[in-house]
Every structure is written in C-alpha cells, then in structure tokens.
Amino acid sequence: MKIICVGWNYPDHNKEMSRTELPAEPTLFMKPDSAILKDGKPFFIPDFSDRIEYETEIVIRINRLGKNIAEKFAPRYYDAMTVGIDFTARDLQQTLREKGQPWEISKAFDNSAVLGEFISTEDVDMTKIQFSMKMNDELRQSACTEEMIFSINKIISYASKYFTLKKGDLIFTGTPSGVGRVDINDHIEGYIENNKVLDFFVK
Ligand code: MG
C-alpha cells in the first residue's frame, strides 16, 4: 500500500508558514508503509532531528482500485477516515528546501504517519468534518474540512491521474494551522467531532 499526502491545503496553515499565494493544484508527496505507526504505540523522537513537528490531518482510506477518477465519483472510492499525525522533521525539511532537494527524509521517515482508529464515512458529509488535536490536554489544532483549499473529492481525482489508487491506500489530506514541536512525554489525542480516535505518547 501507499500513503499519499497533501501539502498546503488550508489557507490559515499556509499563512503561518509564510505562503500566501493560493496553489492552483494540490501539492502531493508520498510516505512508504514503513512510516505507519498505529494502535496507540508511542512515537520515539528520532535522533536525526532537533525539531519534530506534528501536523494533525484527516486521513481517508481507499476501498477499491481506481485510476482517472472523476470528482463526482470520488466518494465511491473510500469508506473510512481517521485523524492522523503527519510528523515532520522541520529542521531537515528547511535544509532540503534550501538545497532544492526532495522532502522524503524529513517527511517519510519511520513512524512519521501516525494513524488513529478508522471510522466509517458512510452517510457522512465529508465537507463538514470537525476535527481537533489536544496535546497534554490543551487544544492545539481544530478545523473543519470545509476550510480545505482542495476537497477530498478533488484530491482523489487529482491523485488518481498520476497514481493508480488501490484498496488500503491512505490519503493524508493536509494540516490546518497550529502546527508545533513535540517533546518527550507529550500526550497527543485526536478527535473527529467529539469522538476520540487517536491517543498516543511521544517518547
Ligand atoms: Mg502535512
């Protein structure tokens, strides 16, 4: 399976990262399956970075094979969602950007794609999903999917032009504002509406 991630998909996050122009197309990047961390297992801060940041995102799960999917048919291609953390080695990412190099080692390293428990998307209006993240009981990120620059259907349509989507593939749909650093012993909890779907510690 593969993990497709979207960058720059919420205007207020783009602003906090000093990026003001509205992107014309989604920015996509990938993580390998070795990036997955799930079942509430702890995230260990890797020794190659001094600044690991959380990005809280709605993650959707693809449920069938698809290529060149039209936007209006995109809802048929996923059946579950959760809250995930797109961990980013921000210091490494900055260095790579300055050198004009690909992002992978700063974005796709082991355990950088944390997954909560999946819940069904049947009969759910995916443009109105309220999600949030608390760190150490303090609200850090909160948003609604209607704030996305590119909707979930648009992302599926666009990604499937380039990559055949397969059952079990995951899409991280981008972070809203409020990204920040994690440190040892931080406790992260992710919610869809009031349902806690994600709960783990940083070690
Ligand atoms: Mg992200």
Which residue's structure tokens are 């449920």? Answer: 63
Å from CA of 125 to ligand 1 middle:
22
pTM comes to 0.97
Q: In angstroms, what is the span from residue 66 Cα to ligand 1's centroid?
A: 23
**CA 90 – ligand 1 centroid, Å:** 11
CA of 128 from ligand 1 middle (Å) equals 19
Contact 10, 143 (CB under 8 A): yes
Q: State which H helix or E strand residue 140 sits in.
A: strand 138-144
**pLDDT tens per residue, the chain (203 residues)?**
999 999 999 999 888 888 888 889 999 999 999 999 999 999 999 999 999 999 999 999 999 999 999 999 999 999 999 999 999 999 999 999 999 999 899 999 999 999 999 999 999 999 999 999 999 999 999 999 999 999 999 999 999 999 999 999 999 999 999 999 999 999 999 999 999 999 999 99
Report how far ligand 1's centroid is from the alpha carbon of 145 (Å): 14
- Secondary structure of 68-87 as H, E, C letters: CCCHHHHHHHEEEEEEEEEC
One DSSP character per residue, 15-53 reads HHTT--SPPSS-EEEEE-GGGEE-TTPPBPPPTT-S-EE
Q: Right CATH number for 3-41+56-201 from 1.20.120.80, 3.90.850.10, 3.40.50.170, 3.40.50.300?
A: 3.90.850.10
Distance 194 CA to ligand 1 centre (A): 22
